[in-house]
Each structure stands twice: as C-alpha cells, then as structure tokens.
C-alpha cells in the first residue's frame, strides 16, 4: 500500500512539474516528451508501415492518389503559412511532409508527428468531394500540429511510471519505442492513435482553419461528419476512426460554433 501511495505521489508530482499548454489553443496538458523527440520514432514507424504495405500503397500516377496528394499539398502549404504567421514556425521546422494513399476498406486516415499522412481508399466514398477530403485531412493534420501524439505518449509514460525524457534519444530506448508502437498500433493492420475527445475537438477547430486557408469552405465540414456517422452506423462494428471521437451531436455543435472563426480565413 505504501508503495502505491509513493508511486501515486511521484506521478502527481511529475505531472504538476511537467505541465505545459498547447501553443495554438492554450489548453493545459501533460508534457513529458516534446514532439521533436517523437519525430525520429514517427519517421521510422512510417517507413516501416509503407514497407509492410508496399503492395497496397497507390502510385502517384493513380487518379485517387493524385487527387489526395493535391489536396494534401494545399493543406500543407496552408499549415506552413498559418504557423509562420502566428510565430510557431519552429514547431514544424523539422517536419518531413509526405502524403500516401493505401488501398484498404478501412474508414480511416491519420497523420503522424512530422507530417506523415496516410489516407485509406475506404474513406474516399465518404469524403465524397474535395471539401470532404480536406475536412478529414485537415483534422488529422491538426492532431500532429497540436502535439497530441507527444501528449498521449506522456500520459502513457506517467501511467507506467516512466520518468522525464529530456535529452533522451527515444529511438534508442526500447521501452519508449514500445510505448510509441503500442499507441500507434505499429505491426497491426490498422495504424491509429486513439486520442481523447478533447484532443479530437481541438483537432476539429484547427482542421477547419487549415481547410479554409487551403481554399475549401469549412461550412462543408458538417456534411462530412454526418456522412461519416451514417457510414459507421451502417457497419457491423463502429469504425475505428470514430472509436474515441465525440458524439455526433457534440462534434457538429462545436463545428458549427467554430465555423464563423474559420470563415475569416476562407478565400474561394
């Protein structure tokens, strides 16, 4: 019992001393590891994923891949502009942006730290149009930009009693690599980091701004999430993409509240 109390006190003390705020939103978060420290692990995991799924990765000449990459590049340019205009350019200076499309029935898309993006063909009928695709890609990029992966890893480290990683070479630490791989599902058919609902809503807000700056009307975001909800409801099991997401009503209500702000960035 004494050991449990001591461990609990240590975790609480570590959490208090390691709090920071999300630069783009001001939300308080646990920060035991910076996004920069996670990047080498993300790059390695992304490379491994592409190698293991090389037969499913669509070539750039493919029409679907070409469309996704075109929209992705517009979003990336918008993100760079937004970050630089708000004095956060240093947060993405080490990003190595890349967009790939994977042939899969999964209703899924994700963006790893460092700008490593994958869109599954299974979600394309649900995105329906360019604005829908910009909605989901902008949302996933929002996770990366807000450092949600590092935050989730910090939470897992605190749970496991792993100390601060300041100055540590994470990619050379088997325990930390294991935490990263577990969170991202490395080695499994589905790569998906389960973010908290607060993080999901945060990514929604950022995604709306990014898609608006890329030239896609953020007012179309509501329709995408409605289609996504309907597609998930029609399957035998909930789509992994929505497994930890806010309720449809909560998400749509917040998106509607955030649209006026995002519209300030929209230039057709």
Q: What is the pLDDT of residue 181?
A: 57
| Mean pLDDT value across the chain | 79
Give the residue numbers annotated as catalytic, written as ranges. 140
Among 92-106, 126-140, 166-180, whose mean pLDDT is lowest? 166-180
Average of per-residue pLDDT across 76-93: 95
Instruction: Please state, in angstroms and rounded to a whole number, the distance separating the CA atoms of residues 93 and 207.
Output: 19
Confidence band of 127 (pLDDT split at 50, 70, 90): very high
The verdict on pTM exceeding 0.85 is: no
Domain chopping of the chain, boundaries: 35-263
Q: What is the pLDDT of residue 146?
A: 87
Burial code (b: 16+ CB inside 10 Å, e: under 16) for 109-141 equals bbbbbbbbbbbbbbbbebbeebbbbbbbbbbbb
Whether the predicted pLDDT of 156 surpasses 90: no
Whether the predicted pLDDT of 268 surpasses 90: no
Q: What is the pLDDT of residue 153?
A: 73
């Amino acid at each position: 019992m004494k050991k449990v109390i001591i461990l609990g006190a240590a975790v609480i003390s570590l959490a208090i001393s390691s709090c920071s705020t999300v630069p783009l939103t001001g939300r308080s978060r646990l920060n035991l590891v910076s996004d920069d420290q996670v990047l080498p692990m993300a790059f390695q995991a992304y490379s491994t994923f592409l190698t293991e799924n090389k037969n499913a990765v669509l070539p750039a000449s493919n029409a679907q891949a070409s469309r996704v990459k075109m929209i992705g590049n517009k979003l990336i340019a918008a993100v760079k502009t937004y970050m630089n205009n708000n004095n956060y350019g240093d947060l993405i200076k080490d990003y190595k942006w890349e967009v790939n499309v994977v042939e899969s029935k999964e209703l899924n898309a994700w963006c790893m730290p460092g700008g490593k993006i994958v869109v599954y063909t299974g979600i394309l009928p649900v995105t329906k149009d360019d604005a829908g695709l910009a909605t989901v890609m902008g949302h996933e990029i929002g996770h990366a930009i807000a450092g949600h992966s590092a935050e989730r890893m910090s939470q897992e480290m605190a749970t496991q009693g792993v100390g601060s990683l300041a100055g540590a070479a994470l990619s050379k630490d088997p325990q930390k690599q294991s935490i990263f791989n577990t969170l991202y599902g490395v080695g499994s058919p589905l790569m998906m980091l389960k973010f908290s609902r607060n993080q999901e809503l945060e990514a929604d807000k950022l995604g709306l701004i990014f898609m608006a700056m890329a030239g896609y009307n953020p007012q179309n975001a509501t329709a995408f999430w409605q289609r996504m909800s309907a597609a998930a409801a029609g399957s035998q099991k909930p789509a992994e993409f929505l497994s930890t997401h806010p309720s449809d009503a909560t998400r749509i209500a917040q998106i509607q509240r955030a649209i006026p702000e995002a519209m300030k960035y929209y230039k057709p």
